[in-house]
Chain A
Amino acid sequence: MQDPDLKRFYQALSGTDPLTTPEKNKFYVPILQAHPENDPIDRLYQRISWAASESVSLLTGFRGNGKTTELNRLKDRLEADGCWVIRLDMDHYIHPTAPLEIGDFLLSLAAALALAIKEKSGLETLSEKFWERLGNVLQTQVELETLNIKSSGLGMASQIGLKLKNEPSFKQQIQQQLRGCLADITQQIEEFVTQTVKALRKEANNDHLKIIILVDSVEHIRGVGKESQAVYDSIVNTFSGHADKLALPMVHLVYTVPPFLTLHANSATQTLGGNPIVMWPNIHIRTRDGQSDPAGQQIMTEIISKRFASWRDAISEDCLIELANHSGGDLRDYFRLVREILVRLGISQRTGTEEITVDDEMIRNVTSELRNQYRMMLTGQLQERLCAVHKKKQLRPDDNGEIILLTAALDANLIMNYQNGEPWYDIHPLLMGEIKPSDADE
């Protein structure tokens, strides 16, 4: 393969933005085709289709493993059935690393919801009036003037949404002041949602029109540095202690939540109707007993084929599969490894000393670089915990200390989740040599 083609191949692996209308998108590869019974999106689709009036579901998955693309697939399927669906990207409304409280979360949700409904349905007056009423409620509890909130209606929604996302001190003040009026805010949001549903049904001339709200990117909140435990506790508290406030009348809600919430999930899922948290897994590149999974490998190969059809001119299938195995089914790591290989091929062409093909040594070198990036996060305690996960293929923390360790490991992609058959966990394959074999084999 010549340099311009290597460059095009490299660039084809540089973007991992979520895919819209995935099943019609040329890059989309269904990753659970060998186990459709395990498809979490099918499960959510079925839950929503069967639920009579309203429901709440929680979807989780690892960073960058395609949740938003899959939510778009769920949206397409529900819309094909005649449902009315919106996806809210909460990245624009939630501070990603500050502790969350139910009050500011509801306010962020209210802003996202009003602006999205105005955008999609044109129900501007309804959205405007909702925020005027909400502004009146806030006025009684929150010193809006001193917080520099001067607009009203949807202008206030935009301003508050932006401030909640960008200004931790504003968020803190709002949290303190909202504690006294949670019930009023919840009531306002519920009334707005009820009126919106009625208006949409009237407009569609369909009394049974199903309304679905996909609340995406909530899982992007995470603890950083000294505040990390406070942030994790706040997320658990929001989704467990206040789970009842996350349900809204006459609509079906799907929230994306961080993977560590599965460690604390009982109270949340009980309150939210008993639906277990649905997990979008990594690509099942391996089996529970440590063998390669040919179906998963085929998917990983197809992903490259869709992005760059003539990839075989640069790398053999065996080598590509080896890189896929080293990535553990994580797309970002997979693309990183392949890009690094392409860079080395490009250099060898430029220096032109000899024809270089991808060989074991080149693969060893690129994987060792990525391994080093994971290795530097390891501590002795974490190594022990990873050892236990590798052995048991489950998380099952015994105490709060273990929950903290596992939370960090899940967040850092050191632990991966698969779903070929029953869901199971294992450590990143590049870390296999970093845990003590004697412990792992006990």
Chain B
Amino acid sequence: MSDLLSLTPAGEDAWMRFKQHLEWSDRFALVFLFSEQNQATEIFRERLAAIYRARVTGLELERPKCPEELANTLLPSLITSNTHRQALDAPLWVDLSRQRGEAWDDARANLLARLNERRECLLQHPRPLILLLPEATAPKVREMAPDLWAIRHFVMVIGPWVNATPDTPPRPPQQKNRGIPLHAQRAGSH
């Protein structure tokens, strides 16, 4: 549903740069996105997914549902040599930006530290890895994962780049009256 929302000129400019970096990256590239702006982030992800939908390999999305998944499922999948994954050329989008609380903070810090230790495994992936993190973690990432930070390809802090008035077509009255919050609509779209 975020296709009903539009980006501000600053957001469009940032999106163009983000897309251009990814299109030109011909090898592993580590991209840090920091965001508290779920709507703008979702527009980025959906646009990127749309670009890769038309290709052989679509955008791969990892969005763990509980903190334990980061160490038990996500980490092994990122560092394990996987010929299928290595053959893919679409970016891998890892969304760790939405959840809050101590357990999530610890799980994110632990994942970054472990990835930092096993960075040579990450380097085997021939495609960009997009790590999406809460903006509040930005000042700590270098400390948590100094070697990953040192090889960062580019960094972007997602701003409040969604236009206040969505550029939406008129809707039937019954839809307007449902009162479904925007974030819930978006969550249902993927």
List A residues 91-132 near B (Cβ within 8 Å): 91, 95-97
Contact A224 B17 (CB under 8 A): no
Smallest CB-CB separation from B120: which chain A residue?
A91
Q: Mark A351-378, 1 if CB is under 8 A from B, else 0.
A: 1000000000000000001001100110
B21 lies within 8 A of chain A by Cβ = yes
Contact B20 A343 (CB under 8 A): yes
Q: How large is the interface on B (under 10, 10 to 19, 20 to 34, 35 or more residues)?
A: 20 to 34
B59 lies within 8 A of chain A by Cβ = no
Q: Which label, helix, strand, loop or mixed, suits the secondary structure of the B interface? A: helix
A290 lies within 8 A of chain B by Cβ = no
List the interface of chain B (C-beta within 8 A of A).
16-17, 20-21, 24-27, 29, 109, 113, 116-118, 120, 138-139, 142-147, 150-151, 153-155, 157
Contact B147 A95 (CB under 8 A): no
CB contacts (< 8 Å) of B153 on chain A: these are: 14, 336
Contact A97 B116 (CB under 8 A): yes
CB contacts (< 8 Å) of A401 on chain B: these are: none
Contact B150 A97 (CB under 8 A): no
Known: A96-B117, A347-B17. 16 other contacts (CB 8 A): A14-B26, A14-B27, A64-B151, A96-B116, A96-B147, A166-B117, A166-B118, A332-B151, A340-B17, A340-B154, A343-B17, A343-B20, A343-B24, A347-B20, A377-B139, A408-B143
Contact B20 A346 (CB under 8 A): yes
Given A11-B26, A377-B139, check contact A224 B154 (CB 8 Å). no
Q: Which of B21, B29, B120 contacts A343 (CB 8 A)?
A: B21
Q: Which of B109, B117, B150 contacts A64 (CB 8 A)?
A: B150
Q: Which of A15, A224, A408, A412 contacts B113 (CB 8 A)?
A: A224
CB contacts (< 8 Å) of A339 on chain B: these are: 21, 154
Given A336-B154, A377-B139, check contact A346 B24 (CB 8 Å). yes
Contact A224 B26 (CB under 8 A): no
Given A343-B17, A346-B24, A411-B146, check contact A225 B116 (CB 8 Å). no
Contact A412 B142 (CB under 8 A): yes
Contact B25 A14 (CB under 8 A): yes
CA distance A376 to B157 in the complex (A): 12
CB contacts (< 8 Å) of A91 on chain B: these are: 120
Smallest CB-CB separation from B23: which chain A residue?
A7
CA distance A376 to B145 in the complex (A): 15
A352 to chain B, nearest CB (A): 13
Given A96-B116, A166-B117, A346-B24, check contact A224 B16 (CB 8 Å). no
Contact B144 A225 (CB under 8 A): yes
Smallest CB-CB separation from B27: which chain A residue?
A14
Given A224-B113, A225-B113, A412-B142, check contact A10 B24 (CB 8 Å). yes
A242 lies within 8 A of chain B by Cβ = no
List 23 A–B pairs whose Cβ atoms lie within 8 Å, in order of A's numbering. A7-B24, A14-B29, A64-B151, A96-B117, A96-B147, A97-B116, A222-B146, A224-B116, A224-B143, A225-B109, A225-B144, A332-B151, A340-B154, A342-B24, A343-B20, A344-B17, A346-B20, A347-B20, A350-B16, A372-B157, A373-B155, A408-B143, A413-B150
Contact B24 A224 (CB under 8 A): no
Please list the 6 inter-chain residue pairs (A to B) with the smallest Cβ-Cβ separation, ordered nearest first.
A376-B139, A343-B20, A10-B24, A347-B16, A63-B150, A7-B24
Smallest CB-CB separation from A15: which chain B residue?
B27
List the interface of chain A (C-beta within 8 A of B).
7, 10-11, 14-15, 63-64, 91, 95-97, 166, 220, 222, 224-225, 228, 332, 336, 339-340, 342-344, 346-347, 350-351, 369, 372-373, 376-377, 408, 411-413
Given A225-B143, A343-B17, check contact A11 B24 (CB 8 Å). yes
CB contacts (< 8 Å) of A64 on chain B: these are: 150-151
CB contacts (< 8 Å) of B138 on chain A: these are: 376
Smallest CB-CB separation from A370: which chain B residue?
B155
CB contacts (< 8 Å) of B24 on chain A: these are: 7, 10-11, 342-343, 346
A64 to chain B, nearest CB (A): 6
CB contacts (< 8 Å) of B120 on chain A: these are: 91
CB contacts (< 8 Å) of A224 on chain B: these are: 113, 116, 143-146
Smallest CB-CB separation from A17: which chain B residue?
B123
CA distance A346 to B109 in the complex (A): 36
CA distance A350 to B17 in the complex (A): 12
Contact A377 B147 (CB under 8 A): no
CB contacts (< 8 Å) of A411 on chain B: these are: 146
Smallest CB-CB separation from A348: which chain B residue?
B16
Smallest CB-CB separation from B117: which chain A residue?
A96
A289 to chain B, nearest CB (A): 29
CA distance A332 to B29 in the complex (A): 13
CB contacts (< 8 Å) of A413 on chain B: these are: 150
A202 to chain B, nearest CB (A): 36
CA distance A336 to B31 in the complex (A): 12
Contact A97 B154 (CB under 8 A): no
CB contacts (< 8 Å) of B27 on chain A: these are: 14-15
Contact B117 A95 (CB under 8 A): yes
Q: Which of B116, B145, B150, B157 contacts A332 (CB 8 A)?
A: B150
CB contacts (< 8 Å) of A350 on chain B: these are: 16
CB contacts (< 8 Å) of A340 on chain B: these are: 17, 154
CA distance A224 to B113 in the complex (A): 8
CB contacts (< 8 Å) of A14 on chain B: these are: 25-27, 29, 153
